[in-house]
A and B are shown apart, each in its own frame.
Chain A
Amino acid sequence: MKRQNFLLLVGVIALAIIPLFLVAPAKEGEEIFAGADGEAEELITKIQPNYKPWFEPFWEPPSGEIESLLFGVQAALGAGLVAYCLGYYRGRRRESPTPHASAN
């Protein structure tokens, strides 16, 4: 199980790093690794140049920094929940070892 988990982690990291080397560096005025959501937005305006979004968000993060802060907060909250759950069960197993409390 431990070996499999290690390999899974290596796989995830490799899948995120490999594209950085595969994609040609950006030419002047071009941006690489932009968000796919934003690219879809551009495609919409290409297909229907007259389309006007009819609704604006009530609030938008005032800068890219603040937006990345909020994404960081979201990731931290999520990771916190997962880690709390794992930590709780791990601690409980140490305190009262029961025969069926460990897999494999």
Chain B
Amino acid sequence: MHIMGGYLPATHAVGWSLASAPFLAYGVSKLTKQLREQPESRLLLGASGGFAFVLSALKIPSVTGSCSHPTGIGLGTVLFGPAIMCVVGFVVLLFQALLLAHGGLTTLGANTFSMAVVGSFAAWGVYRAGLGLKLPFNLTVFLAAALADLLTYCVTSMQLALAFPDPASGFGGSAVKFLGIFALTQIPLALSEGLLSVLVLNLLRSHAASEVASLIPVLKGGVK
């Protein structure tokens, strides 16, 4: 989902940066509050960040014959909520833009919007909906992580289609083409990310049940 540096017109680059900025600012204030009120949760925050780091570094083959990578945003969102994960996602993207020349500084705003902002809020929405519908907890986590991953790549496709509408078929035609590259490739990867998120949360719950439950109130009663 990384749009390469310089591959978005300057107005779009600025626009997506402005769109992401308020979420980041809100996320930073939530993050400071979280660390002040529950300083012991920083270890789980580290694990959530680490999970996003490792998942977004793994390029995995897909059935379309190309490779892509998961985002790892869903797990941390379930633990810490969407605002804090906006900041974590931004840090991951900044690292990749500066040190790996993967993505870029000019497209950092657009990439932050798709992965960190839409990814985390989509995960949160699905997670809350799953809890509301009383779905099994692990199924809810799976759906939240997988759909957030997939939606991130749909947003990237839309961002590119907006910037590069097809001369003949316009925005729609272009969107179909970009979705063909990103969204189809991403389906098996999104499933993988969902499974991995459940796996890591299972491990965290079996070794740090009380710490995880202090972040996820529904687990206090010992929900399976």
Report yes or no: A37 in contact with B1, Cβ–Cβ below 8 A.
yes
Chain A residue at minimal CB-CB distance from B197: A8
- Chain A residue numbers with a CB within 8 Å of B47 are 81-82, 84-86
B17-39: contact bitstring with A at CB < 8 Å (1 yes, 0 no)? 00000000000000000000000
Q: How far is the CA of A88 from the CA of B67 in the complex (A)?
A: 34
Number of chain B residues close to chain A: CB under 8 A: 79
- Chain A residue numbers with a CB within 8 Å of B96 are 74
Report yes or no: B4 in contact with A78, Cβ–Cβ below 8 A.
no
Report yes or no: A5 in contact with B46, Cβ–Cβ below 8 A.
no
- Chain B residue numbers with a CB within 8 Å of A74 are 53-54, 56-57, 95-96, 100
- Chain A residue numbers with a CB within 8 Å of B98 are 58-59
Interface residues of chain B: helix, strand, loop or mixed (majority): helix
- Chain B residue numbers with a CB within 8 Å of A4 are 138, 202
Report yes or no: B1 in contact with A85, Cβ–Cβ below 8 A.
no
Partner of A36 from the list B54, B67, B95, B202 (CB cut-off 8 Å) is B67
* B90 CB to nearest A CB, Å: 15
Contacts of B152-180 to chain A: CB distance below 8 A: 156, 160, 164-167, 174, 177-178
Report yes or no: B54 in contact with A75, Cβ–Cβ below 8 A.
yes
Decide yes or no: A56 and B177 within 8 Å by CB, A15-B188, A18-B63, A79-B50 being known contacts: no
Interface residues of chain A: helix, strand, loop or mixed (majority): helix
Q: How far is the CA of A103 from the CA of B56 in the complex (A)?
A: 29
* A8 CB to nearest B CB, Å: 4
Chain A residue at minimal CB-CB distance from B51: A82
- Chain B residue numbers with a CB within 8 Å of A5 are 199, 202-203
Q: How far is the CA of A33 from the CA of B63 in the complex (A)?
A: 9
Partner of B67 from the list A33, A58, A77, A93 (CB cut-off 8 Å) is A33
Decide yes or no: A16 and B205 within 8 Å by CB, A8-B198, A37-B4, A55-B6 being known contacts: no
Decide yes or no: A85 and B46 within 8 Å by CB, A59-B101, A70-B99 being known contacts: yes
Decide yes or no: A90 and B207 within 8 Å by CB, A12-B196, A81-B49 being known contacts: yes
Q: How far is the CA of A54 from the CA of B55 in the complex (A)?
A: 30
Q: How far is the CA of A100 from the CA of B186 in the complex (A)?
A: 39
- Return the 7 tightest CB-CB contacts between A and B, nearest first: A81-B50, A78-B53, A78-B54, A53-B6, A55-B6, A85-B47, A74-B57
Which residues of A line the B interface, CB within 8 A?
1, 4-5, 8-9, 11-12, 15-16, 18-20, 22-24, 32-37, 39-41, 43-44, 47-48, 51, 53-61, 67, 70-72, 74-75, 77-82, 84-86, 88-90, 93, 98, 100-104
Can you list 30 A-B pairs, Cβ within 8 angstroms, ordered by A?
A4-B202, A8-B195, A9-B199, A11-B192, A12-B192, A16-B192, A19-B63, A20-B61, A23-B63, A23-B64, A33-B66, A36-B67, A36-B181, A36-B185, A40-B3, A47-B174, A48-B167, A53-B4, A55-B5, A57-B97, A57-B104, A59-B98, A75-B54, A81-B53, A82-B47, A82-B54, A86-B203, A90-B207, A102-B206, A104-B224
